[in-house]
């Protein structure tokens, strides 16, 4: 993995296809002084997955809209925050306060780091998600995919971001994820090991209600 600091456009990034948009070394030496992830965050596997069709997933994807976009420079419009990704053997993604340079590590248990970050339609929540692309995950990790939710309050900078839940799966990897509305998401998943262009994969699609 190439060493450096990168800013990424996080909307929906496929596993193994983390393409850098540009580099930014402004925050390389900033100190991590604030954690947006609380050790008291609820870890739940009680959320119910409801299988949906590919057509359902594509419709949800086409209908998704939010005003909280992440620009090619990593800047989150409407907030004093920038998304920055650093890779040196493993990849780490940070939220950085533009005004102060203070940054906070966004959690991921996988060496490749985050696959994506996606705001809810109302902008008061966002999800980060990570995944390993093979069923041999037990050789390296305790789970195969994870989704972590955050709430965004009216406070300033990093203080506005507070973790709300963690959901992990040992059964599948994430190919894509999309918000359906402010309380539910849709996930495109696969159980096989991913090879080459992924043409070997048999995708399954699920709806996940975050309020259950």
Q: What is the pLDDT of residues 155-192, one digit of tens each?
A: 888 989 998 888 999 889 999 999 999 999 999 999 88
| Tokens found for residue 121 | 């339609």
What's the rounded Cα separation, in Å, for the pair 203 and 82?
33
The alpha-helical segments, DSSP class H, found in 24-165 are 54-63
Please tell me the pTM assigned to this model.
Answer: 0.78
For strands 90-97 and 81-88, give the pairing.
antiparallel
| Mean confidence (pLDDT) of the chain | 79
Structural domains in the chain, sorted by start: 4-209 (2.105.10)
What's the confidence (pLDDT) of residue 88? 85
What's the confidence (pLDDT) of residue 43? 57
Higher pLDDT pick, 78 / 141:
141
Cβ-contact 108, 174 below 8 angstroms: no
Q: Report the SS3 class of residue 55.
A: helix
pLDDT bracket for residue 44 (50, 70, 90): low
């Amino acid at each position: 993995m190439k060493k450096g600091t990168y800013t990424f456009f996080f909307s929906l990034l496929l596993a193994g296809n983390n393409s850098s948009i540009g580099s930014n070394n402004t925050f390389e030496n900033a100190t991590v002084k604030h954690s947006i992830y609380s050790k008291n965050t609820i870890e739940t596997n009680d959320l119910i997955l409801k299988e949906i069709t590919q057509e359902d997933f594509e419709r949800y994807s086409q209908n998704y809209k939010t005003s909280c976009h992440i620009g090619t420079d990593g800047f989150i419009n409407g907030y004093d925050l920038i998304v920055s990704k650093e890779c040196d053997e493993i990849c780490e993604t940070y939220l950085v306060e533009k005004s102060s340079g203070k940054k906070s590590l966004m959690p991921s248990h996988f060496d490749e780091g985050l696959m994506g970050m996606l705001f809810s339609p109302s902008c008061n929540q966002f999800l980060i998600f990570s995944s390993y692309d093979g069923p041999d995950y037990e050789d390296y990790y305790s789970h195969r995919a994870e989704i972590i939710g955050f709430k965004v309050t009216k406070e300033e900078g990093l203080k506005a971001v507070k973790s709300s839940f963690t959901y992990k799966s040992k059964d599948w990897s994430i190919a894509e994820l999309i918000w359906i509305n402010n309380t539910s998401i849709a996930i495109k998943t696969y159980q096989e090991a991913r090879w080459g262009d992924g043409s070997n994969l048999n995708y399954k699609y699920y709806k996940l209600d975050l309020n259950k």
